[in-house]
Structure 1
Amino acid sequence: MMAKLENHSVGPLHPGHFVRKNVIDPLGLSVKDAAEALGVHRVALSRFLNEQAALSPDMAIRLHKALGANFEELMRMQNDYDIQQAKKRFGEIRVASIRKTGIGSEQQLALPLPWQFSRSCE
């Protein structure tokens, strides 16, 4: 039941906007009725539809089961939206550089990825 997205120059849509415009509104559902059908609080659904809250995996499953919305596509939309929002804040985030001193010069410290830790490190 996912409608094709139009090309937006402002970047990825928040999935709440997409669900409201392409699912909830066309079906003529109120937020209260949709929330009841989904088994969630009205406020939680309203915050999501009004782009004030992120899509949780649980909500994506509920939208998939109740309305036929594609679970994985909704989660990708949220991920794309989150990446876009993070890029907007990239320059605002200040951190200290973590460096390891080597002989004669500084080298950037390569931190292991979470799945590279051995069980003994936990």
Structure 2
Amino acid sequence: MLMHNPPHPGVIIKELCLEPLGLTITDAAEALGVSRKTLSSIINGKAGISPEMAVRLSIAFNTSSESWLNQQTQYDLWLAELSRKDLNVTPLNAA
């Protein structure tokens, strides 16, 4: 079942990981071994969580990489479902 309007994973990183620890994007990016631009793009919803970033986040915040990828998948699928009616697809049914 799809979550209704799931948050972008960047919101989760910001609100549940960075803010409680008092971390800036710059500090967190350095700890994750990525550029500030890369992390900022994710936090601002301009980029998604890649499998590699999921692993980095899981190491840094003691979480599972699967949870980060699942959040991204839920968000991406929700966006795709919003345009379902606009897709030109013919249902294929078995005889």
Higher RCO (CA 8 Å, separation ≥ 6 residues): 2
The equivalent residue for 1:11 is 5
Greater helix content: 2
TM-score by length of 2: 0.84
- Cα RMSD for the two superposed structures: 2.1
1:33-112 equivalence runs, <5 A = 33-94=27-88, 97=90, 108=92
Structure 2 unaligned residues grouped into runs of 5+: none
Identity over aligned residues, as a percent? Answer: 38
Give the TM-score normalised by the residue count of structure 1: 0.67
CA-to-aligned-CA distance 1:51-101 (integer Å, 9 cap, x gap): 111110111100111121321111111111111000012223336x5xxxx
Q: Provide the aligned length of Structure 1 versus Structure 2.
A: 92
Instruction: Please state which structure has a larger fraction of its residues in strand.
Output: 1
- Unaligned 5+ runs, structure 1: 1-8, 98-107, 111-122
